[in-house]
Amino acid sequence: AQSVTQLDSQVPVFEEAPVELRCNYSSSVSVYLFWYVQYPNQGLQLLLKYLSGSTLVKGINGFEAEFNKSQTSFHLRKPSVHISDTAEYFCAVSGGDNTDKLIFGTGTRLQVFP
Amino acid sequence: GAGVSQTPSNKVTEKGKYVELRCDPISGHTALYWYRQSLGQGPEFLIYFQGTGAADDSGLPNDRFFAVRPEGSVSTLKIQRTERGDSAVYLCASSLSGGAREQFFGPGTRLTVL
């Protein structure tokens, strides 16, 4: 069975500071990895995804993530955050069957302070 | 073009009642997913449709939950004899097809069972 662990439930950070949101996964088969963002009162939006190839994936809004197979991690990073990045961030995994259903972590609340 | 839409946006019902939640996927998307997001948790997979058929319903919690997609487009999630524990945000997502493509999420229906 697949699972996702997001180690930090909340990450407070000041504007223009760098941030890393951690994600670890567990799977016995090859996986696809995703980061979604959920702004208040809005639906989930895809930030970036890793399917294959380069382990460094760039997404929207200046975010990037690195797939590390040996550490089973897919941490999300941004070198300089904005107030508008305040949101809930979810890491998700799929693969191993042909349904592409997503298994989500519990989420990390990123709070950016001025 | 229009994204995934869900109706109603909010539904309040009493314990024991029957409810229906509707999802309109993006036109042309053959894959449709239902997820449930409880407070403070990540979305949890319920059921996956490929076309008109439920290809994977392993996430439905019990036989009070049922979903249909009779014409391969609109889907309805049906909950019988609602319980307070069913209170959550029900999310619908669609994608072009299987194969780890991006899932596009709707804004969700917030169900409250009193």
Per-residue pLDDT tens for B60-71? 999 999 999 999
Which residues of B are less than 8 Å from A32 in CB distance? Answer: 100
Which residues of A are less than 8 Å from B107 in CB distance? Answer: 41-43
Q: Which among B3, B100, B108 is the nearest to A95, CB-wise?
A: B100
Q: DSSP labels for B46-113?
A: EEEEETTEEEE-TT--STTEEEE-TTSS-EEEEESS--GGG-EEEEEEEESSSSSPPPEE---EEEEE
Contact between chains at B101 and A100 (C-beta distance less than 8 A) = yes
pLDDT per residue over B80-114, tens digit each?
999 999 999 999 999 987 665 789 999 999 999 99
The pair phi, psi for residue B97, each rounded to 5°, is: -170, -170
pLDDT per residue over B21-57, tens digit each?
999 999 999 999 999 999 989 999 999 999 999 989 9
- Domains in chain A: how many in total? 1
Spell out the domains of chain B, with CATH numbers in brackets: 5-96 (2.60.40.10)
Give B82's Cβ-side CA count (13 Å radius): 21
Full domain range(s) for residue A107? 3-113
Distance from A15 to chain B by nearest Cα, in Å? 25
Distance from B76 to chain A by nearest Cα, in Å? 18
Distance from B86 to chain A by nearest Cα, in Å? 18
Buried b / exposed e along B75-102 (16+ C-beta atoms within 10 A): bebebeebeeebbbbbbbbbbeebebee
Q: Which among A6, A102, A106 is the nearest to B45, CB-wise?
A: A102
Helix (H) / strand (E) element for B7: namely: strand B5-7
Which residues of B are less than 8 Å from A98 in CB distance? Answer: 98
Q: DSSP labels for A58-80?
A: E-GGG-EEEEETTTTEEEEEESS
Selected residue of A99, A103, A108 to mutate for chain B interface (largest B Cβ count, 10 A): A99
Residue A11 CB contacts under 8 Å (≥ 6 apart), including other chains: A19, A21, A108, A109, A110, A111
What is the pLDDT confidence band of residue A28, given thresholds at 50, 70 and 90?
A: confident
**Closest to B92 measured CA to CA, from B70, B72, B75:** B75
